[in-house]
Each structure stands twice: as structure tokens, then as C-alpha cells.
Amino acid sequence: MVYADNAATTKMSRTALAAMLPCLEETWGNASSLYAFGQKAKEALEGARAKVAACLGANAGGIYFTSGGSEADNQAILSAAHLGAKKGKKHIISTTFEHHAVLHTLKKLAKAGFEIELLDVHENGRVSADEVAKAIRDDTALVTIMYANNEIGSVQPIAEIGAVCRARNVIFHTDAVQAAGHLPIDVQQQNIDMLSLSGHKFHGPKGVGVLYARPGIPLENLIEGGAQERGKRGGTENVPAIVGMAAALEEACAHLAENTVKVQALRDKLIAGLRKIPHSILNGDETRRLPGNVSFCFEGIEGESLLLLLDDKGICASSGSACTSGSLDPSHVLLAIGRPHEVAHGSLRLSLSEENTGADVEEILRAVPEVVAYLRGISPLWKDKLSGKRDFLLPE
Amino acid sequence: MALYSEKVMDHFRHPRNVGSLENADGIGEVGNAKCGDIMKIYLKIDNDVVSDVKFETFGCGSAIASSSMATEMIKGRPLDEILTVTNKAVTEALDGLPTHKLHCSVLAEEAIRAAVKDYYDKKGIAYDAAQFSTPCAACHT
């Protein structure tokens, strides 16, 4: 099997597993218990917090463990919005291609009377700090912009946006789910006030994530309960998962430079190979993109059938076609960068990790052109384009 | 459980009657590119019987499988019978489709009807127009 869907989830690393096992077999006490056995779990928990903080250039006091990236996004945005509302600030700036954990939370806030301004991300999937600066108003409560896009991999100028927000004293949150462990993060240098990440995107376990909030930004609880996470997230901590995530993040950050070189080389080989398919287009920025992200649209075919046939050839990939999402519209991300519906239906995302090899890339480069050619061969849409009855939308 | 039944996957992987017919007596094309599926059915008709049928489809796995199954269901059958082939019958023959994919079987039914209508139009055969008005609500945006 060639696993090329690392943006969906990653295989858990040996390091993460090795870190988790003692928490399951030995120090399985409740971290809130007073006796020494419980306190051992507490030590493991706080050790994990310190590790995560170090990876983000953050103060450990700003690290809150959550059930994942979505919970962190929800809590960050609702907290900042309601904090702003107390001061009469109800304007929120974001972008059109955020993850649904962000967009749906913003939709909820819009219904509650907030004014949501979604910035255009242009064809390359990027927003500039200047555009953010122009959008900031005196009543802006929050700017929330993802670090790197999950579908097309474009990376935002986070430090520049952070500086702009700090200068105007506006809270800046970034959904760094795809970036953490893959791109350098330093919340202080980059002026990030709040950040979300998810454990399973960098070879950690699923069901665990982090919300970073700069000390001084009060959080609003999504889950009421005990005094866990300094009273901001009720529920007994999932110590094994938290410890596994911290170990995975530490490992990813320690090897970030070498992994980037390796994965980027594979990515670029894949992009160069897929470009040879006529009437195809790379989605997202050419260079300012995640090291492992390859996103293409192929004209005249539909993405789900492409995925199913690749699956038959042992290749795991993803698509933003309507048919894979269960809705009638193709991916909002591809529409946000201006791909016409028809082209967006024929999308393919391959996301690599350092576990992939050159042989994987070769296998993908053998399979994709073959499957695309087959599907085009049975597509009346493609036939109409070839005969001139319809126009090609993508250049040859 | 897998997304699709074995039957759907079989027809998707090994679609029957793929291609086009030179000098087809009736051609039906339904769906649109914006919605992500287009189905085109070609009929050869001899003595009011579908003597040959081919299809081309742009769409997802269930759209391709539905087209393939629909062509199998009408091949060799008289015209009046093929007009009774419903999306429900196509779906059942495929051992079911996920709810959000049912419109693919609707497209198959419509493609057959559109091809028969085209045949009637070309031959100047009178028909009840109401019989052919089944717009796919999901796909005409």
C-alpha cells in the first residue's frame, strides 16, 4: 500500500507509542488524585505540557489540552469573540478557505450578531498581511487565519499577519493543524495569541490536541466540569494520548529540517510528474506550500472515481469532489481559489510524510496518469472538449 | 462497511457497454458538468427493440455503476418496457446505493428516457410529453 493521505491522518510513530505505553500500563492513575500514584500521572501530564510549550516557543501556562484541533478552534474563536463583545467589538476577520471547524463556528457567531469578514485568498491560496491590516477596524475582536491549508497546502505569512494584529491590539488565532510538526512555529516571535493543533497530524495519537492561548487571554469553557486544565476544560485528562502527542511533536520538531528536505524533494518530483498530464493544474502556491502537499485538478473527470481506482491500485489519496464530501458542491477551498465547479470536481490531494519513499512516488506517477486517461476515455465531457463542442477550461 | 455494495464496485470496475454507437437511433444526455456528473446513453433500435446500447459517463463511482447497470437492464428489451425502468429498479439491481448517491440512479433513468425521446423525435413518432418530464432536481442548478 502507498499511503499518501497524511493530511487526513498519520501513522503513529514508535516514539509516540513507546511514550504512551507506560501511561497505560504503569502510571494509569488519575492526574487529579492527591496520592503519589496519581501524582505520577500528573507529572507525566505536566512533562508533556512543557514539551509542547517548548516546541511552540510558548509558556507552559498557555497550553491547554483538548480532544483535537476542532475543539481547540471552537474554544479559541468563541472565547476571543465573546471577550471582544464585552468591549463592544463584534467584527471578526478570517478567510474564505478555513477548515469547517473555524467556518462553522464563525457561522454560529454570525447568527448571534457578529460581523464576519472573510478575506479572499486569491488563486494561489494566500492572503497578505497588508490585506489583513486594511480589514482591521476599531471594533475587530479577532483575526483567525489558518497557518497552512489542509487541501491545497498554501502557507500564510503568519509572522507578518501576527505583527499587524499585535500593532492594532487585535487577538490573532491560527489553526495550525496542518503546520504543527511540519513548519517552524514560535508563538512569541510570530505574535500568535492563540493556536490550535491536533496530535494525529504529526504521527501522534488521534483524539487529542492543543489550544495555546497567550497568558492574559481568558478562555471560555466548552466543557464544564472539574478543575482540569486550570478550570478551562473539564474531564479527566487523557494522559496517555497527551504524552504520546507531546513525544510525537518533540520528535517532529527535532527532525523538522531534515524531514522538510526529504519530503519536499518527493513532493516536487510528484508535482513535476503530474504536471505532464495535459489539462491539469496544481492547486495552491508553487513554493509557499506544505512540504508534503500535492493538490491537482484534472479536467474532464470526477475525483471520487479517481480515488476508487487508485485505491484498487493500492494508493490512498483524497479529493475535494462533491461526491467524496457527501454534499452537492465541491470543496469550498477549491472554489475559494477560483476553480470552476467542473474543474473542482476533478481534484486529487496527495499528502506525503517522511515515511514515503521514491518508490511510492514512482508508483503514484505510474497509476495516476493511467487512471486519468481511462476515466477521460469514458467521459462524454472530455469527448466534447476534444471535439471542440465544449471549451477546455485548463491549459494544455 | 464499505461505501458501496460489491455489485456497485463490480459495475464500476468492469462497466458493461462502455463506449458510443455510430449512427445511434437515439441519444440521451443528462446531468451537467457543474454538478459533477453527465451521463450519455446511445441506443440502436430495431423493430422497437433495443438491439444495442452504449454509455459514456463523467461522474463518481455510483454514476458509472448506475449507467452500466441501466444499460444491462435495457439491452434486448422492447422500447415500451425500457420506459418502465425506474431509478428504484436500478438501485435495487445494484444492491442499493448510499442515500446521497441515489440521484445517480435517477440520472440513469433520465438518460434512458432522454434517449428514447430523442429516438421518437428523430423518427417523428408521437408521444405523451408528460412521460418525459422528470427533471433531476439535484442536478439542474
Catalytic residue status for B104: yes
Cβ-defined contact of A380 to B13 (cutoff 8 Å):
no
| Boundaries of every domain in chain B | 6-122
One-letter identity of residue A134: K
- Judging contacts by C-beta atoms under 8 Å, the chain A residues touching residue B5 are none
User: What does pTM read for this prediction?
Assistant: 0.94
DSSP state string for A290-329: -TTEEEEEETTS-HHHHHHHHHHTTEE-B---HHHHTSSS
Is the Cβ–Cβ distance between A317 and A349 less than 8 Å? Answer: yes
In sequence order, which residues have a C-beta less than 8 Å from that of residue A88 and are 6 or more positions away? A139
Of A309, A345, A378, the CB nearest to B18: A378
Cβ-defined contact of A302 to B33 (cutoff 8 Å):
no
Whether residue B34 lies within 8 A of chain A, CB to CB, comes out as yes
User: Residue B13: what pLDDT?
Assistant: 97
Quickly count: other Cβ atoms within 10 Å of residue A359's Cβ: 9
What domains can you pick out in chain A, each with its CATH number? 14-254 (3.40.640.10), 256-385 (3.90.1150.10)
In sequence order, which residues have a C-beta less than 8 Å from that of residue A234 and are 6 or more positions away? A221, A223, A224, A225, A226, A228
CATH class of B6-122: alpha beta
Q: Which ipTM value was assigned to this complex?
A: 0.94
Whether residue B10 lies within 8 A of chain A, CB to CB, comes out as no
| Cell numbers that stand for A147 in this block | 497557518
| Cell numbers that stand for A106 in this block | 464563525
Measure A279 CA to nearest chain B CA, in Å.
16
Q: How far is CA B117 from the centre of its chain?
A: 13
Cβ-defined contact of B138 to A328 (cutoff 8 Å):
yes
Whether residue A310 lies within 8 A of chain B, CB to CB, comes out as no
| Cα–Cα distance for residue pair A145/A136, rounded to 1 Å | 13
- Judging contacts by C-beta atoms under 8 Å, the chain B residues touching residue A327 are 100
Whether residue B35 lies within 8 A of chain A, CB to CB, comes out as yes
pLDDT of residue B133 exceeding 80: no
Cβ-defined contact of B56 to A383 (cutoff 8 Å):
yes
| Cell numbers that stand for B97 in this block | 446505493
SS3 sequence of chain B: CCCCCHHHHHHHHCCCCECCCCCCCEEEEEEEHHHCEEEEEEEEEECCEEEEEEEEEECCHHHHHHHHHHHHHHCCCEHHHHCCCCHHHHHHHCCCCCHHHHHHHHHHHHHHHHHHHHHHHHHCCCCCHHHHCCCCCCCCC
Strands A91-95 and A115-119, sheet pairing: parallel
Is the Cβ–Cβ distance between A344 and A320 less than 8 Å? Answer: yes
Give strand pairing partners of B54.
B42
Strand residue runs (E) in chain A: 2-3, 63-66, 91-95, 115-119, 140-144, 171-175, 194-198, 209-213, 280-282, 293-298, 315-316, 347-351
Whether residue B42 lies within 8 A of chain A, CB to CB, comes out as no
Measure B66 CA to nearest chain A CA, in Å.
13
Cβ-defined contact of A323 to B60 (cutoff 8 Å):
yes
Cβ-defined contact of B35 to A322 (cutoff 8 Å):
yes
The three-point CA angle A77-A91-A144 to 5° equals 40
| Each residue's pLDDT expressed in tens, for chain A with a length of 396 residues | 999 999 999 999 999 999 999 999 999 999 999 999 999 999 999 999 999 999 999 999 999 999 999 999 999 999 999 999 999 999 999 999 999 999 999 999 999 999 999 999 999 999 999 999 999 999 999 999 999 999 999 999 999 999 999 999 999 999 999 999 999 999 999 999 999 999 999 999 999 999 999 999 999 999 999 999 999 999 999 999 999 999 999 999 999 999 999 999 999 999 999 999 999 999 999 999 999 999 999 999 999 999 999 999 999 999 987 776 666 688 999 999 999 999 999 999 999 999 999 999 999 999 999 999 999 999 999 999 999 999 999 998
Backbone φ, ψ for residue B17 (5° rounding):
60, 35
* Closest residue on chain A to B138 (Cα): A328
Sheet with B49-58: strands ordered across: B26-32, B37-46, B49-58
Q: From residue A289, give the alpha-carbon distance in Å to each of A4, A195, A280, A283, B95.
A: 16, 19, 18, 10, 43
Taking the CA of residue A208 as centre, how many other CA atoms within 13 Å lie in the half-sphere pointing to its CB?
A: 31
| Cell numbers that stand for A133 in this block | 491590516
| Cα–Cα distance for residue pair B110/A163, rounded to 1 Å | 57
Kindly state the average pLDDT of the residues B74-84: 94
* Closest residue on chain A to B37 (Cα): A302
> pLDDT for B20-34, tens place per residue?
999 999 999 999 999
Cβ-defined contact of A380 to B36 (cutoff 8 Å):
no
Q: Which residue has the cell 460489491?
A: B6
Is the Cβ–Cβ distance between A161 and A129 less than 8 Å? Answer: yes
- 321-360 in A: which are within 8 Å (CB) of B? 321-324, 326-328, 330, 340-342, 345
Catalytic residue status for B35: yes
> pLDDT for A205-224, tens place per residue?
999 999 999 999 999 999 99
In sequence order, which residues have a C-beta less than 8 Å from that of residue A11 and are 6 or more positions away? A3, A203, A353, A355
Strands A194-198 and A171-175, sheet pairing: parallel
* Closest residue on chain B to A329 (Cα): B35
Of B34, B60, B63, the CB nearest to A342: B34
The three-point CA angle A300-A301-A306 to 5° equals 160
User: Residue A371: what pLDDT?
Assistant: 98
Tell me how long chain B is. Answer: 141
pLDDT above 90: percentage of residues in chain B: 82
Q: From residue A185, give the alpha-carbon distance in Å to each of A49, A163, A191, A240.
A: 16, 14, 10, 24
- Judging contacts by C-beta atoms under 8 Å, the chain B residues touching residue A383 are 20, 56
Q: What is the DSSP letter of A62?
A: G
Measure A312 CA to nearest chain B CA, in Å.
9
Q: Which residue has the cell 474532464?
A: A300
Mutate which of A298, A324, A325, A345 to disrupt the B interface (most B C-beta within 10 Å)? A345
User: Residue B137: what pLDDT?
Assistant: 46
Q: Which residue has the cell 439491452?
A: B75
Average pLDDT, chain B: 92
